[in-house]
């Protein structure tokens, strides 16, 4: 009897994709890939090392230096990107099935991420055609304009939460602007990344433009960051890894875009729509299994509504449906990997000494194996608590009261992170003043994490370096060259050395 939750036609082995061909590692090394529901190995993947990265970079550099992709008109590249988007859309069910199985994400949420991946490509396909660059005129004297040029080989290092969508977030603008790429996906979740090769081939992307090397961060990722022929690194992941990349890229003066960790506050004032705030903050920390960088995992609540909020929040958290990832009714699935599960559970135990446990706190009933964690809520959490300060990256939330606007702002800013913030109030002046004072790269007022792809995405403090999204992505993946032309009949240069 077949297991209905296991997708059909799973690969026995996942290879690299270099210069238009699937290949194993030079040394033949592999690593195991686990099913997060059972933690059993379901396939192996080629384990890339320095030699594999060198082959991939050489192919990408050759495609950039000699191939047609960087030299194509924006409209021609745009057509390829639209075909990629069409193919992703047409395969969204299969992509979601594989993503859900590999990562433990609930199937309905994985399907949304697959569709978002298609939209990322479509957005940048349109943007490069519509893009205009600056021109500056000094009438009768000078004309100045800006050329944009692709930079070269972009190294893309992506995380294991929503992997396919986050890969598209980098691949879309990198390819749209005419660069070639080497992608190093997260080792926990290599399955969906392996589908890009077939999609790109079918869409007509030239060989060598896209290359993929699987492997551990300390092997394949490290070699990619240190390769002298890779002038750009875009990384999404932990802040500590970002620090290593920053140091390793420094000798080469590489362009860096890094979206790192978060411990984002959701601030709920007494005048807020309480039902909407509870709904949004439940979704904001428990969707995607809590494995999201922008999770509002610190909820700050004005004291006059604090007890009511905690009571309603805890009751609703207990009703969140934990289940197998393939079940459409599931709202929280399995965490990605046993290592991460142990980390999250260690924070749950720490939280029991730092706050009042009002929901969850362990395995959900009926799930004796796999990486399942019940949605966990701690109230009365002090700002010096570890569960207040440190990124847990799981379905765990800390709730803390405040008495004044100033205290709320102080608490909101009281971590090393600064990625997102969510503010719930019907006071317009307070909302805008608080938004401008909170230390966060992105702020949502009376709404959850809904992004317009034209806006910059990124954080401050330990949450990142640089921004991507919209024109900021175009800026990152291109060199801007200023060209100056004299229009005056006689140049007004200063003259040296004339009699």
Cα–Cα distance measured from residue 277 to residue 159, given in angstroms and rounded to the nearest whole number: 29
Measuring CA to CA, how many Å separate 28 from each of 45, 49, 54, 191? 10, 10, 15, 19
Cα–Cα distance measured from residue 321 to residue 330, given in angstroms and rounded to the nearest whole number: 5
| Nearest alpha-carbon partner for 263 in 467, 438, 452 | 438
Cα–Cα distance measured from residue 106 to residue 306, given in angstroms and rounded to the nearest whole number: 31
Instruction: Determine which one of 187, 293, 391, 439 is catalytic.
Output: 293
Cα–Cα distance measured from residue 60 to residue 75, given in angstroms and rounded to the nearest whole number: 22
Instruction: Determine which one of 259, 302, 331, 354 is catalytic.
Output: 259
Inter-axis angle of helices 92-103 and 107-130, nearest 10? 120
| Tokens describing residue 446 | 């009376």
Q: Which residues of 53-78 are buried (b: 16+ CB within 10 A; e: fewer)?
A: bbbbbbbbbebbeebebbeeebeebb
DSSP per position, 120-131: HHHHHHHHHHH-
3-state helix, strand, coil in the chain (%, to 5): 40, 20, 40
Catalytic-residue membership of 259: yes
Task: Give 200-258 as a 3 state SS string.
Answer: HHHHCCCCCCEEECCCCHHHHHHHHHHCCCCCEEEEECCHHHHHHHHHHHHHHCCEEEE
| Nearest alpha-carbon partner for 196 in 85, 55, 65 | 85
Cα–Cα distance measured from residue 266 to residue 8, given in angstroms and rounded to the nearest whole number: 41
Measuring CA to CA, how many Å separate 320 from each of 287, 352, 425? 10, 21, 25
Q: 270: number of CA atoms within 13 Å, CB side?
A: 11
Catalytic-residue membership of 331: no
| Nearest alpha-carbon partner for 372 in 334, 329, 339, 337 | 334
Counted residue by residue, the chain has a size of 499
Strand duo 210-212 + 180-184: pairing: parallel
Q: Let me know: does 200 contact 193? Beta carbons within 8 Å.
A: no
Which residues are annotated as catalytic? 259, 293
């Amino acid at each position: 009897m077949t297991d209905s939750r296991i997708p059909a036609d799973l690969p026995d082995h996942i290879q690299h994709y270099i210069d238009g061909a699937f290949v194993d590692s030079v040394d033949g090394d592999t690593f195991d890939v686990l099913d997060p529901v059972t933690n059993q190995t379901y396939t192996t993947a080629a384990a890339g090392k320095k030699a594999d990265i060198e082959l991939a970079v050489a192919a990408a550099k050759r495609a950039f230096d000699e191939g047609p992709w960087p030299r194509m008109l924006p409209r021609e590249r745009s057509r390829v990107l639209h075909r990629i988007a069409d193919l992703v859309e047409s395969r969204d069910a299969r992509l979601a099935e594989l993503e859900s199985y590999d990562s433990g994400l609930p199937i309905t949420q994985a399907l949304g991420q697959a569709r978002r991946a298609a939209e990322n490509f479509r957005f940048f396909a349109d943007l490069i055609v519509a893009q205009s660059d600056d021109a500056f005129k000094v009438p009768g004297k000078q004309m100045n304009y800006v050329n944009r040029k692709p930079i070269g080989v972009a190294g893309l290092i992506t995380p294991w939460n929503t992997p396919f969508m986050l890969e598209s977030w980098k691949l879309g603008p990198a390819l749209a602007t005419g660069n070639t790429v080497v992608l190093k996906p997260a080792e926990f979740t290599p399955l969906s990344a392996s589908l890009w090769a077939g999609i790109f081939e079918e869409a007509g992307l030239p060989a060598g433009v896209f290359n993929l090397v699987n492997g551990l961060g300390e092997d394949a990722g490290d070699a990619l960051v240190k390769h002298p022929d890779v002038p750009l690194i875009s990384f999404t992941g932990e802040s500590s890894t970002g620090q290593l990349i920053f140091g390793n890229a420094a000798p080469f003066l590489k362009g860096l875009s890094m979206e790192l960790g978060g411990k984002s506050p959701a601030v709920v004032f007494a005048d807020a729509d309480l039902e909407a705030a509870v709904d949004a903050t439940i979704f904001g920390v428990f969707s995607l299994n809590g494995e999201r960088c922008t999770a509002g995992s610190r909820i700050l609540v004005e004291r006059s509504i604090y007890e009511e909020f905690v009571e309603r929040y805890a009751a609703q958290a207990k009703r969140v449906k934990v289940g197998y990832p393939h079940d459409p009714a599931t709202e929280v699935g399995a965490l990605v990997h046993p290592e991460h599960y142990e980390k999250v559970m260690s924070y749950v135990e720490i939280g029991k000494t730092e706050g009042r446990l009002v929901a969850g706190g362990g395995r959900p009933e009926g799930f004796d194996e796999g990486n399942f964690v019940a949605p966990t809520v701690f109230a009365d959490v002090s700002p010096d608590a570890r569960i207040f300060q440190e990124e847990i990256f799981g379905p765990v939330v800390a709730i803390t009261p405040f008495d004044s606007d100033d205290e709320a702002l102080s608490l909101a800013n009281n971590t090393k992170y600064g990625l997102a913030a969510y503010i719930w109030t019907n006071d317009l002046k307070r909302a805008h003043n608080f938004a401008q004072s909170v230390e966060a790269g992105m702020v949502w007022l009376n709404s959850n994490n809904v992004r317009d792809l034209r806006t910059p995405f990124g954080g401050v403090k330990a949450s990142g370096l640089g921004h991507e999204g919209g024109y900021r992505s175009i800026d990152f993946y291109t060199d801007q060259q200023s060209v100056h032309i004299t229009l005056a009949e006689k140049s007004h240069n200063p003259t040296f050395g004339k009699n």
